[in-house]
């Protein structure tokens, strides 16, 4: 079911933090793009029929030992190639130029002057463009076979082209949003230079997926959590195989306010997805009684989840397939397709599903990025509150209640978080932030209510911005918005007398408090 790279653009992964972003940007032009290992040979790329190759950035230095290299024949091929940052430096080295340390590290904005369109900058009328640099090495000299297309004060060879060959290199990152006209540059490369096929769209993906998934002859089991990925997985499979899909929503008692009702409404009623709600909250809370250690809480939730799921599978089975909402970055980062990524994300999974159920795994979203999944969800008719939902941790509120998980703290946490979400929705901020919630611990603080002194919970509100959850920054909310959140929580959530706002970024803090 893997989309075909014929007529598309392969991005060879040298481990740069923006490698995924290059793929996403190219896909948003309507051209299929996939991340491949850095040492994919030219022969393989030709066999795939790619229209173009991008060599991504990466943390290494081209001369250092063990530095990832590309198949040298790529640099002599007729397939258009664009080297970005490290990929560019490899190209310079391969063509006989010299790469070295820059005197002043260039991180962030820089201004480049376009000397010549050369295909890559065609139609970018501005002769000065702001672009994003992030490098310690750069081309020191280029061979006579290369000509300069753009320069900056620090990088005389900010962009080059090999004369008479469709080989281009840029020192900056056209894929990041801070680079002005970066998308236009990628579009020039994709269409003007590679003549890539405009054949990637979510409508097309939906059609192909439904057709291929409908060939599954058997019964499919899918766990839904109310989150975007599992909801889209279930909706897609439901469209393809109808009643042969059974979805189960396990209410752990650790979920956001009204989650079971939302699943019933948005998946069940509105889309007709076959979903059963299993209320296992008492078992989960029972197993968590007296446990304060965050890692033990995580393990218990994982184990309880696997047990509940397994019980459902045995009771309602047999099933031939198990569906999971795995996304493309997870596939790449879990090493199933390997690049030398310098940061490998640790996976937060729902505690590992039982391995011995002898079902085949179906992952219909394994080629998609999150924003594409959201678009697919919209096409499938999923409501906006589902497709725009913030991520939520597998162990749920067990990691947002500090210390022992009690019904009282869960209520405080759930009601306060719901207020945070409501206020941000009303202010039009919800969709712009990564996560927003409230958490609570055991400490009680003193408050006054009327003439009475009273001890109560202090709730901590957290709103963060992030691109991939690897790093996060706290959101500078307007004081008026903070005030509304605080007033509503103390007025409407019984037992809370004070509200604090978390102003820690990740690192050093993590997004979840536990």
Binding site for ligand XMP (CB under 6 A): 298, 348, 391, 393-395, 399, 435, 469, 506, 510-512
| Helix or strand run (H / E) with residue 300 | helix 294-316
CB atoms within 10 A of CB 209: 22
Q: Return the exposure string of 22-31: e unless at least 16 CB atoms fall within 10 Å of the residue's CB, then b.
A: bbbbbbbbbb
Give the nearest distance from C-beta 8 to ligand XMP in angstroms: 30
The pair phi, psi for residue 108, each rounded to 5°, is: 100, -155
Contacts of 281 (CB under 8 A, 6+ apart): 251, 252, 253, 254
Q: How far is the CB of 251 from ligand XMP (least distance, A)?
A: 17
Q: Are 435 and 425 in contact (CB under 8 A)?
A: no
Q: Report the alpha-carbon distance of residue 4 to residue 495 in Å, rounded.
A: 57
Q: Closest CB to ligand XMP among 257 and 270?
A: 257
Query: Tokens 């509100």 correspond to what residue?
Result: 461
Shortest Å, Cβ 71 to ligand XMP: 36
- Minimum separation from the CB atom of position 319 to ligand XMP (A): 23
CA distance 238 to 246: 9
Nearer to ligand XMP, 92 or 387 (CB): 387
User: Residue 54 or 300: which CB sits closer to ligand XMP?
Assistant: 300
Phi, psi of 228 (to 5 degrees): -65, -50
CA–CA distance, 6 with 104 (Å, rounded to integer): 41
Residue holding tokens 């801070």? Answer: 178
Handedness of CA 433, 434, 438, 439 (dihedral sign): negative
Tokens 């024949």 sit at which residue?
A: 73
Enzyme catalytic residues:
85, 173, 175
Comparing CB distances to ligand XMP, the nearer of 52 and 394 is 394
Q: What is the DSSP letter of 398?
A: G
Least Å distance between CB 419 and ligand XMP? 19
Q: Inter-axis angle of helices 407-426 and 479-492, to 10 degrees? A: 140
Q: With respect to ligand XMP, which residue has the nearer C-beta, 391 or 495?
A: 391
Which CB atom, from 40 or from 435, has the smaller least distance to ligand XMP?
435
Min dist. Cβ of residue 473 to ligand XMP (A): 12
Cβ-count burial 376-390 (b if 16+ within 10 Å, e if not) = bbbbbebbeebbebb
Please, which residue, 124 or 509, has the CB nearer to ligand XMP? 509
Query: Which of 136-157 are b and which e, b meaning 16 or more Cβ less than 10 Å from the residue's Cβ?
Result: ebbbeebeeebebbbbbebbeb
The residue among 225 and 274 lying less far from ligand XMP, judged by its C-beta, is: 225
Write b or e for each residue in 269-304: b if 16 or more Cβ atoms lie within 10 A of its Cβ, otherwise e.
eebebbbebbebbeebbebbeeeeebeebbebbbeb
Minimum CB separation of residue 506 from ligand XMP in Å reads 5
Q: In whole angstroms, how close is the CB of 85 to ligand XMP at the nearest point?
A: 27
- H/E stretch holding 435: strand 435-449
Helices (H) and strands (E) counted in the chain, each on its own, are: 14, 18
């Amino acid at each position: 079911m893997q989309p075909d790279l014929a007529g598309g653009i392969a991005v060879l992964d040298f481990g740069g933090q923006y490698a995924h972003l290059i793929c996403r940007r190219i896909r948003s032009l309507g051209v299929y793009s996939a991340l491949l290992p850095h040492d994919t040979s030219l022969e393989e790329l030709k066999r795939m029929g790619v229209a173009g190759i991008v060599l991504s950035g990466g943390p290494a230095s081209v001369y250092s030992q063990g530095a990832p290299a590309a198949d040298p024949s790529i640099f002599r091929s007729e397939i258009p190639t664009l080297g970005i940052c490290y990929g560019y430096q490899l190209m310079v080295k391969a063509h006989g130029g010299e790469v070295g340390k820059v005197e002043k590290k260039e991180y962030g904005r820089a201004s480049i002057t376009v000397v010549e369109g050369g295909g890559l900058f065609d139609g970018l009328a501005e002769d000065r463009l702001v672009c994003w640099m992030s490098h310690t090495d750069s081309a020191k000299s280029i061979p006579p076979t290369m000509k300069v297309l753009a320069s900056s004060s620090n990088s005389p060879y900010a962009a080059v082209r090999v004369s008479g060959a469709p080989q281009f290199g840029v020192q900056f990152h056209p894929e990041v949003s801070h680079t002005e006209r970066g998308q236009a540059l990628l579009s020039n490369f994709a269409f003007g230079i590679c003549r890539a096929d405009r054949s990637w769209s979510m409508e097309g993906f939906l059609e192909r997926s439904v057709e291929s998934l409908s060939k599954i002859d058997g019964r499919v089991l899918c766990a839904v959590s109310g989150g975007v990925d599992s909801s889209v997985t279930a909706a897609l499979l439901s469209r393809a195989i109808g009643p042969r899909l059974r979805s189960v929503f396990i209410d752990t008692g650790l979920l956001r306010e009204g989650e079971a009702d939302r699943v019933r409404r948005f998946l069940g009623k509105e889309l007709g997805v076959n979903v059963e709600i299993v209320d296992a909250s008492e078992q989960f809370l029972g197993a968590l009684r007296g446990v304060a250690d965050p890692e033990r809480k995580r393990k218990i939730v994982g184990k309880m989840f696997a047990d509940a799921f397994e019980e459902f599978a045995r009771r309602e089975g047999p099933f031939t397939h198990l569906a999971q909402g795995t996304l493309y970055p997870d596939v790449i980062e879990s090493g199933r397709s390997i690049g030398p990524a310098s940061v490998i994300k640790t996976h937060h999974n729902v505690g590992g599903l039982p391995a011995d159920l002898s079902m085949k795994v179906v992952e219909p979203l394994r080629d998609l990025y999150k924003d594409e999944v959201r678009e697919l969800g919209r096409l499938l008719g999923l409501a906006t509150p589902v497709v725009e939902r913030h991520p939520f941790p597998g162990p749920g509120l067990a990691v947002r209640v500090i210390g022992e998980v009690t019904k009282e703290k869960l209520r405080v946490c759930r009601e306060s978080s719901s207020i945070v979400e409501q206020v941000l929705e009303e202010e039009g901020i919800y969709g712009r932030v990564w996560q927003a919630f409230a958490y609570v611990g055991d400490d009680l603080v003193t408050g006054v209510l009327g003439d009475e002194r009273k001890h109560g919970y202090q709730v901590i509100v957290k709103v963060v911005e992030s691109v991939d959850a690897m790093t996060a920054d706290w959101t500078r909310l307007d004081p008026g918005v903070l005030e509304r959140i605080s007033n509503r929580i103390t007025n409407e959530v019984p037992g809370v007398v004070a509200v604090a706002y978390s102003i820690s970024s990740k690192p050093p803090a993590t997004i979840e408090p536990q």
